[in-house]
Amino acid sequence: MRAVFYEKNGPAREVLKLGERPTPQPGPGDVRVRIKASGVNPSDVKARRSGARRPTGFDVTIPHSDGAGVIDAVGPGIDPARVGQRVWLWNGQWGRPFGTAAEYIVLGANRAVPLPDTVSFEVGACLGIPLLTAWRAIHWRPGRAGETLLVAGGAGAVGQYAVQLAWRAGYRVIASVSSDEKAAVAMAAGAEATVNYRQEDLAAAVSRFTGGAGIDRVIEVNLSANAPDYVRYLRHDGLVVVYGSNDWTTSLPLANWLIHGIELAIFIVYELPPAIRAQAMAGVQDVLADPSFQHQIAARFPLEQTADAHEAVESGKLIGNVVITVD
């Protein structure tokens, strides 16, 4: 099979190779999926660049955890009727070396979720990390009527999903963005207001939005950058749900948070508890049935341009998800 792979960590153009790899065969409890689209996420880029998620004991890594395609073979113990089923995938390259940047992937049958005929494979390749992350962040705990919520990076791959889910859950949503174009995306997704954090004071904007009460909860994409300012715009006993940080070793102003009563929740989408993942996947299937739910595909690349796709994600300039078209 054709696949993109790397044998050492480093810059995309230096380490990513396109070549032939053995076509995998499904074992007990497995399905094999012929990949139609592969999603490229920031975590995939970081893993290739630094090796943070590269499994030990393997010389070759095929990147990307998200993807979509058609089941073409099943292993022992799996209903043969699943052959021909359209599916989207989660955790394709989490704790294992071979992801979705290939013509085929073998993985546990539970990681291949039915994809409605009305949903494209490209959209299916955006669900495993961005949409499941957004769902978990928004539904960390039930909200109260009229509760206010700030989505940091409200036009990003996760952010624009989070805005839509928050609006559907009844929150009043304000989103932080870095450009007028991104503000338009967040507003179209359901934000009631936006603030350009490069040009405006976020705390002042939140104060206007909440009538001086402070925001009830924050969905955070970059803990290390924004942690010092939470006491300026989060209400007392407010909640911050964190799914990302540019630096996980940064010092946190815990003494200030103690006085302010800030509640901090941190999670990684790859390690959702089974019961939570089941709820999240049910939530995803619900929104996939809603034609008004938006999916932002920022760019598409063929498999042979995977290095370009990685560089596009690293640039931070795109609005939405990046996908590789495999077949």
21-50 burial string, b = 16+ CB within 10 Å, else e? beebebeeebbbbbbbbbbbbbbbbebbee
Q: Are 127 and 65 in contact (CB under 8 A)?
A: no
Give me the pLDDT at residue 83, please: 98
Give me the pLDDT at residue 53, please: 52
Give me the pLDDT at residue 56, please: 56
Give me the pLDDT at residue 71, please: 98
85 contacts: CB under 8 Å, gap ≥ 6: 70, 71, 112, 114
Domains and their CATH numbers in the chain: 2-126+295-325 (3.90.180.10), 131-270 (3.90.180.10)
DSSP for residue 270: G
pTM to 2 decimal places: 0.95
Give me the pLDDT at residue 201, please: 96
pLDDT tens-place values along the chain, 327 residues long: 999 999 999 999 999 999 999 999 999 999 999 999 999 999 999 999 986 555 556 789 999 999 999 999 999 999 999 999 999 999 999 989 999 999 999 999 999 999 999 999 999 999 999 999 999 999 999 988 889 999 999 999 999 999 999 999 999 999 999 999 999 999 999 999 999 999 999 999 999 999 999 999 999 999 999 999 999 999 999 999 999 999 999 999 999 999 999 999 999 999 999 999 999 999 999 999 999 999 999 999 999 999 999 999 999 888 999 999 997
